[in-house]
Each structure stands twice: as structure tokens, then as C-alpha cells.
Structure 1
Amino acid sequence: MIILPLADKLRPNKIEDMIGQRHIIGKGKVLNKIIENKSIPNMILYGPPGTGKTTLANIIAKTTGKKYVKLNAINCGVKEIKEIIDE
């Protein structure tokens, strides 16, 4: 039996399950259309911890089947970014 933290159990799995930012992620809105069309541009998600950046990235990757790379500017330098781009 795998025991998950409560936050992981309650984390949204679909864009419709996310709360807030309806003007961007709501049905027919910009980000929702981009995800539905699977035409994801390069993007940087920025904001304080706990605001849903990673959750949104996971939903986008799962919904579109696209690969994404999670970077943290504190731990990642130019060398690591170049290695990721070369993959």
C-alpha cells in the first residue's frame, strides 16, 4: 500500500479542477484553448510557493502528452540548461 501525502491526494488532475484564475484557465479562455489545441509555447511559470505552478505544469504535460522540464533557478545554471536543450 502506497501512502501519499494529503496534498498529493487532493492535487487537481485536470484543468477544470484548478481553483482561481478563471480569466486564464476557464473554459474558452487563453490557456485552456492552448492546452486543448496541444500547441503549448515555451512558458515560464512564476510565483510564490504553493500557488499551483507545478500542478499546472503537470496537468499541461499530462493533457498534451508533451515533455516538460522543471527547473529551479537556485539549483540550475547555464550548463544544466544547455544540457537539457541538447537532449
Structure 2
Amino acid sequence: MKTINRPMMCEWRDFSTDTETYTRTVFEAKVGDKFDAMMFESETDEIPSYIYTKNYVCIIRRNTRMINDISITKIPRNPDCS
């Protein structure tokens, strides 16, 4: 298994799309969970690829048809398989 090293940040960094600015407060309200860390594909990216919260890994996908926007997909971090 190959490990890929990507820039991981444990402090929130605000980011923006054409329609919204995402602060920590705005993001936590949208996903309903507390921020833990964010991962960027490269050090020059403005928008993270993944945001980790206490209970979820949020996949950030860019949507760029007419405007620059994102979608957020939440995946449980520790699913209960019992």
C-alpha cells in the first residue's frame, strides 16, 4: 500500500467560492459537527480536498460549470459494524 503525503492542517483556514466564504463557524453549521483537520491536494490549493470533523470525513468536490462552487459529501469516520 502506497502512502501519499498531502498537506494536512490542524488549524482552520478560510476558503471561498464564487458564492460563499467558508469560515469555521459557517462550515460547522453546514455539516453539524466540529472541525478537526483539513487536507489539501497541494500546498498551493486554495480549497481543501478533505475536511475531518469529530464524526465525519467530508469530501470537498469542486463544481465549476458557470460559477466556482463546491459540494460536500459526509462519510462517517468510525462506522459501527457490530
Q: Fold conserved (TM > 0.5)? A: no
Give the number of the structure whose residues are more often strand, by fraction: 2
